[in-house]
Amino acid sequence: MKQLKSICLLLMLALVPLQLMANEQKEEGEALNIPEIVLEHLADAYEWHITTIGGKHIGFELPIIIRSGETGEWHFCTAHSLPDGFFFNEEAHGKIYERMADGTVERPIDLSITRNVLQIWIVVALLLAVFLSCARWYKKHDKTDNAPRGFIGAMEMLVMMINDDVIKSSIGEKHYRPYAPYLLTVFFFIFFTNLLGLLPIFPGGSNVTGNINITFFLALCTFLAVNLFGNREYWKDIFWPDVPLFLKAIPIMPAIELFGVFTKPFALMIRLFANMMAGHAMILAFTCVIFLGWTMGTAMGTGLNLFSAIMLLFMNALELLVAFVQAYVFTMLSAVFIGLAHKEHEH
């Protein structure tokens, strides 16, 4: 019974923001535009829109920091007080552009605190709070005390699983320690970000790991960790692999191996980005279908709404699993790539 109540509560929370948006469009006489609603929720923004009630937007503006390419002057403003010459370019996903004196349009230097940036800060603050509280518990207890229980015990189990079963086993006993802090940080950052992204209202709901700029940066960190600290055997396998001499002389195999240096982090970037963005889009689409069913007849609308509600619950449960799996897979593949860069010489 408690599980059923929890499921119903989660469904209600997931429906609230989109229901209000659907009601607003209905009041204005507009048709429910599902692609527009989905893309709006997936895109980054210069303000955090929470909901709309009676045509009034509820949320808060975020600071915009831009540098004019025309005058070189820095501007500090909000979305509703852009300086003259600046505008939101809808063709470029709502990014700020500047109209120059000669009529051309250019992208200024933009250091604004967008919704995704604020979401990252929230995740960082949450991680600090979690791990500092764990550190305080261990500071007050020694290794002879009983194992921690509750939340501290769950975090210890998760850290040990990732450290021992993923990082240590993939990189090796001799080399894993310098990389463990980075890989554990990556895992918990992706995991917590994915979980917050499933919350429909502030402080969650932002599509951070579904933003290719974020996954690009994470993949770039793994790329640097692999290639800056790879040993001689790693680079020998790339430029002078153990293949027949004519394949080295052409050179076919070195070119293929060098190409693989860049395709591995590229695969990390695309895998995380595509899975998280697709999951959010599916949840939003099924939610919108429920409100679309309200505009139909009773018989068709009831059947469509029931199907959409079941699929919405299924997708939310699946996304909870995906939130963990994608963090696990990214960390595991990063550890595997780092382990390959520390191969021992085979006699």
154-174: pLDDT as tens digits: 898 899 999 999 999 989 888
**Which of residues 253 and 27 earns the better pLDDT score?**
253
49-58, 72-81, 303-312: range with highest mean pLDDT:
72-81
Percent of the chain residues topping a pLDDT of 70:
73
The token pair that represents 47 in the structure block: 């303000």
pLDDT at 118 over 80: yes
User: Which contiguous run of DSSP H or E holds residue 40?
Assistant: helix 34-42
CA 279 from chain centre, in angstroms, equals 11
Give Cα separations from 171 to 183, 336, 347 (angstroms): 11, 6, 20
CA distance 183 to 188: 9
* Long-range contact pairs involving 124-129 (C-beta distance under 8 Å, separation at least 24): 124/189, 126/192, 126/196, 127/188, 127/189, 127/192
Q: Do 334 and 222 meet the contact criterion of CB atoms below 8 Å apart?
A: yes
Stretch among 191-200, 216-225, 274-283 having the lowest mean pLDDT: 274-283
Residue 293 has pLDDT above 70, yes or no: no
Percentage of the chain with pLDDT > 90? Answer: 21
Can you give the pLDDT at residue 291? 63
Taking residues 275-279, what's their average pLDDT?
A: 77
Provide mean pLDDT across the span 314-321.
74
CA-based nearest residue to 197, from 223, 215, 178, 221? 215
Q: What is the pLDDT of residue 74?
A: 92
What average pLDDT does the segment 220-233 reach? 88
pLDDT confidence tier of residue 22, bands split at 50, 70 and 90: very low
What confidence tier does 130 reach under pLDDT thresholds 50, 70, 90?
very high
What confidence category does residue 180 fall into, taking pLDDT thresholds of 50, 70 and 90? very high
Q: Averaged over 215-235, what is the pLDDT?
A: 89
pLDDT at 69: 85
Q: What is the pLDDT of residue 219?
A: 93
Q: How much is the pLDDT for 309? A: 67
Mean pLDDT of 183-191: 94
Distance CA 13, CA 8 (A): 9
pTM recorded for the entire structure? 0.80
Confidence of residue 330 (pLDDT cuts 50, 70, 90): very high
Q: Is the pLDDT of residue 21 over 50?
A: no
Cα–Cα distance measured from residue 4 to residue 9, given in angstroms and rounded to the nearest whole number: 9
Lowest mean pLDDT among 74-83, 186-195, 217-226: 74-83
Return the higher-pLDDT residue of 247 and 275.
275
